[in-house]
């Protein structure tokens, strides 16, 4: 549970960065692109003794990890486009409810519950989906200019977040056989994201849509460090719970929502709607039902 809590804390720090960027006129896209080299350096600093970063193309997992890194960038870009064309509400809901994909894959395909799920656990999973939807739903006053097939953008966001999270679980099950291999494998994923992110950034600069400034690069530092650590501790949490995505991902998602809501309320004075409050109550109840065996073990 310790690793899961750390992953949630660092994930909330990520969201806090995004919340502060507009205030300081930081380019979110540049911060995202430059944050991956920072992630890479963070991983190198935490690398266990006797291990090193290497691209061993004789092993299939290297290609898999690189493509997964590219998937991170694609997911970020889709989220940005979907937010602009379909609004924050639809995009946020698509992102959060995507947890259903890794949960179902964990239960039905990977069969890695870690422990037997009972009726209360399954009820908790069901409540978690409702809690995520209600907690993140906000009536949007923004006007969006949706055209043609733009309505498919939230669907693409839903699928990409679900696929990348499921892929992380798959990679952890099949290629990270021990916790000390977490950083080397993670760095290969980050390297793939660096290649994709820098390629897109260069194209945007050439097209005149982005102008690189030192403040955007500096902002990526406070994004890159928690980004790597949130990802690192999430993988360790999956390992600790027998790669049970059905257990870890719902707790992770609603944990991030609960802590984010608290931070937003205390530091940004954001107000919660009645639906949001109901969602947060459901989230607490869902956590209790999903992990009731672990809570019982504490007593």
72 in a domain, yes or no? yes
Residue 115's pLDDT is 62
Q: Is residue 186 left, alpha or beta, with left meaning phi > 0 and alpha meaning psi from -120 to 50?
A: alpha
The yes-or-no verdict on residue 99 having pLDDT over 90 is no
284 in a domain, yes or no? yes
Question: Could you tell me which of 42, 45, 53 has the C-alpha nearest to residue 229?
Answer: 42
The yes-or-no verdict on residue 28 having pLDDT over 90 is no
Angle at 18 between CA 16 and CA 20, to 5 degrees: 70
Q: What's the pLDDT band for 4 if we cut at 50, 70, 90? A: very high
CA distance 150 to 86: 7
Count of domains in the chain? 1
Q: Looking at per-residue confidence, does 150 or 209 come out higher?
A: 209
Residue 233's pLDDT is 94
Phi, psi of 229 (to 5 degrees): -65, -35
Residues of the chain with pLDDT > 90, as a percent, come to: 28
84 in a domain, yes or no? yes
Structure tokens at 109: 């395909």
Q: Give, as one character, the DSSP assignment of residue 180.
A: G
250 in a domain, yes or no? yes
Q: Give Cβ neighbours of residue 16 (< 8 Å, ≥ 6 apart).
A: 263, 267
Mean pLDDT along residues 243-254: 85
CA distance 233 to 8: 9
Domain that holds residue 265: 2-294
Residue 226's pLDDT is 94
Angle between helices 214-240 and 182-206 (to 10 degrees): 150
Contact 121, 290 (CB under 8 A): yes
Mean pLDDT along residues 9-28: 88
Integer Rg of the chain from CA: 19
299 in a domain, yes or no? no
Residue 205's pLDDT is 93
162 in a domain, yes or no? yes
The yes-or-no verdict on residue 118 having pLDDT over 80 is yes
211 in a domain, yes or no? yes
Contact 75, 164 (CB under 8 A): yes
CA distance 74 to 79: 9
Residue 88's pLDDT is 59
Mean pLDDT along residues 264-274: 83
Predicted TM-score (pTM) above 0.75: yes
Mean pLDDT along residues 263-284: 85
The sign of the CA dihedral 113, 115, 118, 122 is negative
178 in a domain, yes or no? yes
Residue 206's pLDDT is 93
Residue 264's pLDDT is 84
Q: What does the mean pLDDT of the chain come to? A: 84
Mean pLDDT along residues 93-113: 80
Distances in Å between the alpha carbon of 103 and those of 73, 113, 128, 283? 23, 10, 11, 16
Contact 104, 170 (CB under 8 A): no
Contact 38, 197 (CB under 8 A): no
Q: State pLDDT tens for residues 217-244.
A: 999 999 999 999 998 999 899 888 888 8
CA distance 196 to 22: 24
Give the three-state DSSP class for 156: helix
Q: What's the pLDDT band for 197 if we cut at 50, 70, 90? A: very high
């Amino acid at each position: 549970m310790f690793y899961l809590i750390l992953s949630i804390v660092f994930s909330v720090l990520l969201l806090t960065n995004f919340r502060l960027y507009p205030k300081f006129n930081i380019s979110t896209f540049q911060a995202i692109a430059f944050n991956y080299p920072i992630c890479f350096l963070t991983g190198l600093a935490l690398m266990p003794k006797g291990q090193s970063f290497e691209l061993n193309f004789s092993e299939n997992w290297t290609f898999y990890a690189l493509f997964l890194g590219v998937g991170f960038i694609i997911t970020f870009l889709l989220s940005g486009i979907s937010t602009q064309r379909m609004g924050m509400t639809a995009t946020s809901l698509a992102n959060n409810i995507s947890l259903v994909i890794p949960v179902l894959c964990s239960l039905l395909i990977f069969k890695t519950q870690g422990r037997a799920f009972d009726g209360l656990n399954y009820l908790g999973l069901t409540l978690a989906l409702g809690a995520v939807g209600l907690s993140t739903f906000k009536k949007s006053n923004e006007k969006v200019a949706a055209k043609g097939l733009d309505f498919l953008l939230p669907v693409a966001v839903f699928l990409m977040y679900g696929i990348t999270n499921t892929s992380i679980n798959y990679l952890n099950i099949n290629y990270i056989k021990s916790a000390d291999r977490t950083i080397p494998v993670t760095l290969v994923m980050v390297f793939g994201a660096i290649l994709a992110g820098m390629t897109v950034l260069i194209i945007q600069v050439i097209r005149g849509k982005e102008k690189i400034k030192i403040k955007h690069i500096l902002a990526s530092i406070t994004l890159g460090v928690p980004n790597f650590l949130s990802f690192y501790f999430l993988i360790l949490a999956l390992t600790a719970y027998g790669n049970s995505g059905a257990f870890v991902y719902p707790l992770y998602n609603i944990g991030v929502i609960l802590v984010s809501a608290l931070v937003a309320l205390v530091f940004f004075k954001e107000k919660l709607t009645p639906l949001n409050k109901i969602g947060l109550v459901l989230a607490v109840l869902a956590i209790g039902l999903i992990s009731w065996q672990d809570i019982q073990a504490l007593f």
